[in-house]
Amino acid sequence: MEIQRYHSGFKDLWNTCNAQAVNGTFLFDRTFMEYHESQFTDHSLLFFRQHKLIALLPLHEAEEVVASHNGLSFGGFIMTPAVDTNRMLQLFENLKIYLTQHKFRSLIYKPQPYVYFMQPTQDDLFGLYQQNARITQRVIVSVLDITLPPLYFKLRQRCLRRAKTQNLRVKQSEDVASYMQLVADLYRKAGIKPPTHTTIEMQYLLQTFPENIKLLVAYSGQELVGGVLLFIHPQVVNLQYMATSELGKQKHALDLLIDTVITTYQNKKKYLSFGSSQDSREPYHTNFNLLRNKGSYGARGVVQDTYQIHF
C-alpha cells in the first residue's frame, strides 16, 4: 500500500474519490476544507493499492499530534467500495507506520455518526478497537427520522398551530449578513462563544455550495425574526445554526421553520440532525434544556465519539 500526502495537484482526484465514496460528503470536498486553511496545517493523506486510490483521510497536524478533523463536524477515513473490514485493518496498520515515521505520537479521530452513511460502514471503528484506541469524548447529537410520521410533543403542536396564525413568511434567502448578525446577537445574550463561521466565510460557502448549504428565514412583515442554516448531506439535513429574535420567539417562528424543513425534506432525506447540546458550563457538559427542546420535535440521541491512539 502506498500513502501520499495531499497537495493541490491531487485536488481533482481527491474530490472525485470523495464523490464516489460510500461515506463521502461535501464537508470533505477540498474547496470546503480549505476555506479556513490558514487555521490548520493540513496533512491529509491518500491511500493507494496497486496504484488505485481506495481511501482518503482528512488530517491536520499540530506539533506531534494529527487530528481528523478539528476543523470539520467529523472526519475519519473516506472509503471507496474497495475497502472492506480486512482492508480497513491494513489501512490502520499502514497509517500507524506512516505517522510513526513522520514523528507523530498521537492520532485524534472523530468518525461520522452512522446516520450519515448511505450504507453500513463502521469498519473504521473495528480498526480503532484493534489499535487500542480510547474514547476521549462522547457527545449526544439529536437526530430525527423524518421518514416517519411526526411525533411532536403536545407543546410543540400548540406552538406550531400558533405560529401558523402569526402571518409569518418563510422563504429561502441569501441575506447571510442579516442572519449571522441575528445568530451573533443570540449567542452574545446567551453568554456563549461567537459562531464558528464568520459572515464572510458563510457567504462564500453558501455561494460555493448552493446545493448543500441553504438559508431558510422567517419574516414578520419586513422584519427578520428567525432562520435556520442547513447543511445538506446525502441523507441528512443538518441544522447548522438556529436563531430567532425576541419577536420571533413570541410568534414561535422556529417551530414553523423546523416544520417547514421537515415537510420539505421528508421524501428526499432520511434524517434531520439538530446537532449536539454540548455545553462545558453545564453538568455532564450537556445543556439539558436545549436537549429537551430538540427532543420535543421527536429527535432521539445518537452518540458522536472522538478517539485517540498513542504511538
Cβ-Cβ contacts under 8 Å for 124 (sequence gap 6 or more): 76, 77, 79, 88, 92, 109, 111
pLDDT band at 211 (very low <50, low <70, confident <90, very high): very high
Looking at the predicted structure, is the pLDDT value of residue 254 above 90? yes
**For all residues of the chain together, what is the average pLDDT?**
94
pLDDT band at 104 (very low <50, low <70, confident <90, very high): very high
Cα separation values, 179 from 72, 73, 211, 250, Å: 22, 21, 19, 18
Domain(s) of CATH 3.40.630.30: residues in the chain: 2-132, 143-304
Closest CA to 265 of 296, 232, 288: 232
CATH number for the domain running over 143-304:
3.40.630.30
Q: Which residue has the higher pLDDT, 38 or 23?
A: 23
- Each residue's pLDDT tens digit, 58-72: 999 999 999 998 888
CA 68 – CA 58 distance, rounded (Å): 6
Q: What is the total residue count of the chain?
A: 311
Percentage of residues in the chain having pLDDT higher than 90: 85
pLDDT for the residue numbered 58: 97
- Each residue's pLDDT tens digit, 164-183: 999 999 999 999 999 999 99
pLDDT for the residue numbered 71: 83
CA 114 – CA 143 distance, rounded (Å): 11
> What angle (nearest 5°) sits at the alpha carbon of residue 61, between those of residues 57 and 67?
50
pTM for the whole thing? 0.92
CA 279 – CA 230 distance, rounded (Å): 21
CATH superfamily of 2-132: Gcn5-related N-acetyltransferase (GNAT) (3.40.630.30)
pLDDT for the residue numbered 195: 85
